[in-house]
A and B are shown apart, each in its own frame.
Chain A
Amino acid sequence: MEIVGQLQKQYVDFITSLFREAYLDDQYVQLQKLQDDSNPEFVVEVVSIFFEDSEKLLNDLASSLQQQVVDFKKVDGYVHQFKGSSSSVGAQRVKNACVDFKNFCEEKNLDGCLRFLNLVKQEFYLVKNKLETLLRLEQQILQAGGMVPPLE
């Protein structure tokens, strides 16, 4: 029973599904290209920053939408940031949800905003979960002495 081989297959199957289901897009591949022996933790680092950033943005979004008088420009600003960072890590579904969210901000549609805040939150936690699983798999492969199969 070859552990490394199994783990690698698991990894490939999993990451393929993530691309297929649009959780991740090409930008994630780009990030992988930036990782090498001199920077073996690059993806983990970026993704960690993304997670932290996003939690903060979600909080900011929630509180700004709870105000008596909602400042939609401010909300839009937060969504814009979220859209940017999710795009930069390749979190496609999150990014797409942010695009739609922005439309509701522009229309000053509170209902729409609240709905989309929930959607963005959902998508974020989904991709967070998936990325954590993915990165864990990578770790396991490396620890078992194998190499992480390159993407594409």
Chain B
Amino acid sequence: MADQGGSQHGIARTSRVRSEEQKQRDLQRIQKYRELEDQVRSHVSRADYSPQLFQLTSKLLRLNPEYYTLWNVRRRCLISGLFSRPSAGSSCSTACSSTFPTATTTQSSTSCSSSSSATTPPAPGSPTAGRSGTTAEPGAAGAPSGTFASDDPAQAPAADSTDSATAAAAAAAAEQQDLATIQSELSFTIPLLLESPKCYWIWSYRQWILAQAIARLRPHVARQVWEAELGLASKMLGKDRRNFHAWGYRRHVVTQLESAALRGASMVEAEFEYTYRMIQTDLSNFSAWHSRSKLIPRLLDERGADDAARRAFLDKELNQIREALNVGPEDQSLWYYHQFLMLNLVDPDKHPAMTRGIAAGDRAAYLAREIDEIKELLEDYPDVKLIYEALFEYTLYLCQLEDRQPTADERADLAAWLAKLKELDPMRNGRWADLERECGL
């Protein structure tokens, strides 16, 4: 069980009444934690980014994934040795002769250590790992300090770095090792994420590992890693649909998958469809609606939609949100999306995607229609304050659009709605009073 240090992101830390036994157990745990910590500090102070240190970070991070310095130590361990080569932008697909920048140093470390390395490197993350006999070069902190003999020691690339066949084999083996390391690291973070799904440092580490995938692996290999990541993002969102970290992360993953580095293509249609599926599961999902709104401009551009198609699209979105409001008028996330659509109409310069071809008169008609539709909701939902707020706001939008003051009827309506708001939400009386004054009611 992980004892967690810093802030908890909503995971309760209760102060429990402890028995003497529990207290002793806790003291032991604290002792063990401190010991691990001391060992880590000792290694770091000697710049000894060895497999031993790597193992220590595993243990300590399981106890406290919020301890971000440890994640940095772990990164250094990887760069210092567990990854097959420095990630100085070197591409694996080119001939290997050019990818050993510190060829002479690596030669020596390779030959030192080659005698004890196995043909298949053990997975770095496993408890029994300890790459026998291979350590990072001491004192080389900051500089890529040598590679592991991931290739067959008999090949000794140092001996013949211009032999492209050997070099290609070496590169392939190196890529395999890096892939294994990357996957092992990703696996390592999973149980930690399940326990602390909102811990920034774990996500940040994952992102770093994924970036390493792009840097070190060939595009189609890296792509597989990233596609699995999208699967993870979906799974996390399945568990907690409104985790906005997960939504932001998903957007990041999708952006990478679409990028040239991963030989990607646009995923905007699939992502748009995804937001709909999430909404079907739970209408009240701010992040899903937000994502949807962000995707629309690109979606329409990619479809090559003309003005008529864009208008049809707007109609469809309006119908859908109205259906949603029909069953969930108390839900603020729905009103936010509705308001987004209204703003598209009111301020087409700022939001041209759906409304650029719609004439001013038509836009006013749209608004007027929405106001009427919303008034219908009052038939069955007389006490939902968000309805009154929307009506109030949209009436003002309409006036703004038509560049006029409210009519007498409209003023009567506004006053009535404001009265209702005061009744339903007395806590915000100050705000209602302000509105009253501003509108001269």
Whether both chains belong to one complex is answered with no
B residues with CB within 8 A of A: none
